[in-house]
Amino acid sequence: MKLQIGQVIKSLRKEREITQEELAEILGVSFQSVSRWELGVCYPDMELLPVIADYFQITVDKLIGVEKSMEETKVQQILSLFQEALSIGDVDACITIAREGVSEYPNNYALLNKLMYALFLSTDDTGNIPDWKENMQKYDSEIIALGERIMKYCPDQNIRLEATARLGFHHCEMGRKTQGRAIMETLPPQKLCRETHMWWALKEEEKLDFTRAQIRDAYTNLSAGLYNMTYGRLLPDKELITVYEKMIELDKWLYDEAYETHKIYDYDAQLFCAFARVYARLNMQEECLVQLRLAAKYAVAFDNRPDSTETDSLLMGKQKWQSKLWETTDSRTCKEIMRDTWMAHKDFDGIRDSAEFQKILNLL
């Protein structure tokens, strides 16, 4: 088994904010020795292990990585509990689970990142979190501290970039757009990401799966852009109708026979309800009701979806859908959200008393 002493020393040294030269002086060794340890070229002498462990206030077992495997197993269990709570919108449980995990493993960045995420989610005004506004002020400084710590010290690039994006977004949500934008500007542009360049380094048998994953990621980004266009009402309503139609056609084109399953697991009851609002604003009542019926259909299907299923399509490839991977800040069912929130929007006031509108409400 390859020992990870060098990686542990490097991580702990950065946590202490000291240089290799400073650590070398503290331990009475050369700067080159510390550098070689961290590069994995060699290990510290056996008699130095207790000295290094004592300085960083950890056990020798942890220094040489014996405890790492046990920690990784326990952290995965904690992350699984976190995801289960998140899939049912229990944000308070997410915070508790993450805090307990960080208490046990205070330097585990996967857990620190989840704690930051849970605190951030507790400020969501679209869920059924009664204290969301108070939470914005209550957790503001803690979210910032966690984000800045992860950005500065986390060795895992994916976690670091995720926390960076979230911290930037948090500043924007708190009205600090200048700070948020400055942080977001540090993120790498899409043209420099792994998915853009890795294809050329792959073996032939790896290219199809990679390319399908690339298409799925591109679809996610395109969908986000289309959502922002509709949610932000960046075009006149008549043009927004065309945008929604293109979104639906895109899904059918990409998913083939898996289209209906995708619509269920992707929470698209919300999409059709938003589409209906555009028709309602244009006083196109029959078209509005058509979209509301589809929304109700997918809301019922979402609430009754299987725990997991698999789909296959030409362009997207095989995908496994799991209900526990759903992330939400709302503990209500989709039917309840549609009935009590989406259909309560003022855009529907013109048809609220109609028999067909009430019929759809009754379905929910």
How does pLDDT run across 130-152, given as a tens digit for each residue? 999 999 999 999 999 999 999 99
Homologous superfamily (CATH) for 5-64: lambda repressor-like DNA-binding domains (1.10.260.40)
Indicate the domain borders of the chain.
Answer: 5-64, 75-187, 194-363
% of residues, the chain, pLDDT over 90: 85
Torsion of CA 242, 280, 339, 233, to 10 degrees: 50
What pTM did the predictor assign? 0.80
| Per-residue pLDDT, 101 | 96
Place of tokens 């990621």: 217
Under 8 Å between Cβ of 94 and 121: yes
Selection from 207, 306, 210, 324 nearest residue 264 by Cα: 306
**192-219 pLDDT per residue, tens:** 888 889 999 999 999 999 999 999 999 9
Burial-class residue 186 by CB neighbours within 10 Å (0-12, 13-18, 19+). Answer: exposed
**63-116 pLDDT per residue, tens:** 887 666 778 889 999 999 999 999 999 999 999 999 999 999 998 999 999 999
- Could you tell me the two tokens for 56? 């960083």
| Per-residue pLDDT, 67 | 63
Pairing of strands 317-322, 308-313: antiparallel
In terms of C-beta distances under 8 Å and separation of at least 24 residues, what long-range contacts does 223-232 make, across chains too?
Answer: 223/247, 230/274, 230/278, 231/274
Homologous superfamily (CATH) for 75-187: Tetratricopeptide repeat domain (1.25.40.10)
Q: Which band of pLDDT confidence, cut at 50, 70 and 90, is reported for residue 1?
A: very low
